[in-house]
Each structure stands twice: as C-alpha cells, then as structure tokens.
Amino acid sequence: MGDASGIQSPLSFGGFGALTRHLKRVTAGVSEALDADLLDRNNLAAINAYSPGLSGSWLFQKSMSVPVGANPNNDLINNILATNFGTMRKLGDPVLYPFLQDVVQWGPLAQTMAGMVVNNPLLLPEMLASIGPGPIADWMGHFALLGAYDVLHKVSGPLSAARKTLPMDKEQRFRWNRQLEAWEYGSGSDYRL
C-alpha cells in the first residue's frame, strides 16, 4: 500500500511513511472525487499532483549514489552527509526535524544549502563534478517551484478559508481544493513541528 501510493520518498524510500503524511489529503480527495463523479484521469491525477519538494529530493538521492564506472572521491558521500547534517544541527530543530521526516521546505533547504557552502566550500565543486550539470539544472527548477509553492500557499490562506462559501460547482470546488492542497503539501507547509 505504501509504495503503491506513488508518494515514495527519495530520501528514505519510505512509501508507507510518506503515505501516512498525505493520508488525510488523499482520502479527502478520493471521497470528493467519488461524491462529484469526477473519476476521469485528469481529476484523479489532481489528487496526487506534482510536488516540488518530492521532486527536488531526488537530487539528494542522486548526490549519494555512484553511477557504474564512476570513480568519485571515496569520502564524497560521507562528506555530503556530515556537512548536511552538521549544518542542519547548527540551524536547529525547525530545519532538522522536517528533513528527518522527509519534508522538504524552501526556507530550511535554502538555509541548509547556504550553510553547507559556508561550512565546506570545497564540497560544492566536487558535488557538481559528481552529479553533473543536467541534474543540477533540473533541481534548480524544482527548487524555484518549491519557493513559488511556498509563496502561493501563504497568499492563498484567506482564499482557503473562504473556499467553502465561494459559489462553485462540484468540479470547480474539487479542482480548487486540490490546487490548495498541492501548494500546501508541495511546499511542505503541512508539516508542524
């Protein structure tokens, strides 16, 4: 059930843990889709929409794997982990705890990345050489969208409260609810410390 949910974490590969975080959102979306008879592919896909936090997490996985035939520095992965966790420890629980629970948020991630560059400036060129420019460019897009989702979730707060009173048909309400959830969960804003 966990991995089949399609919400597998690239950090821990924990499908069941990721599903439990999203269980309320997914069950509400499925219930609303059934109630409104919105069972076509596009509406069901909106229940498990794109998540820049999840997509951006794949760079972490990529940075800690070695392609066949590659010959990276033997200490690269240990250096990445030590620098990452050392930086997050210095930044405190609001940065460390979400990450340990597979929640990627724009602010804590930006702070961690900046701290890693300050704490171990030689690590960045080594990571770039190991990972390559393509995955880094792809990650930058997800990182930018993570920031956009964070902003959109914050500015949609008043609209979120008013969504039950806005005049909409069932499909419009379903789509609007899924979009608000995508911004909330996609930015990691559903996480509470």
pLDDT tens for the chain, residues 1 to 193: 445 555 666 565 566 666 778 888 889 999 999 999 999 999 999 998 888 988 877 777 777 777 777 777 888 889 999 999 999 999 999 999 988 888 899 999 999 999 999 999 999 888 888 888 888 899 999 999 999 999 999 999 877 777 777 788 999 999 999 999 999 999 999 988 7
Give, in degrees to the nearest 5, the angle at Cα 93 between 155 and 115.
Answer: 85
Angle at 104 between CA 74 and CA 68, to 5 degrees: 30
Task: State residue 12's pLDDT score.
Answer: 58
Sign, Cα dihedral of 153, 141, 172, 35: negative
Question: Which pLDDT score, from 0 to 100, does residue 140 have?
Answer: 92
For position 110, what pLDDT does the model report?
95
Can you tell me the distance from the alpha carbon of 146 to that of 163, in angstroms, rounded to the nearest whole number? 23
CB within 8 A of 56, min separation 6: which ones? 104, 109, 139, 142, 143, 146
Per DSSP, the three-state class of 176 is: helix
Report the pLDDT value the prediction gives residue 162, as an integer from 0 to 100: 74
Q: In Å, what is the CA distance from 113 to each residue of 38, 54, 80, 148?
A: 41, 17, 11, 18
**Amino acid letter for position 89:** R
pLDDT value for 29: 95
Global pTM reads 0.86
The confidence score (pLDDT) of residue 134 equals 87
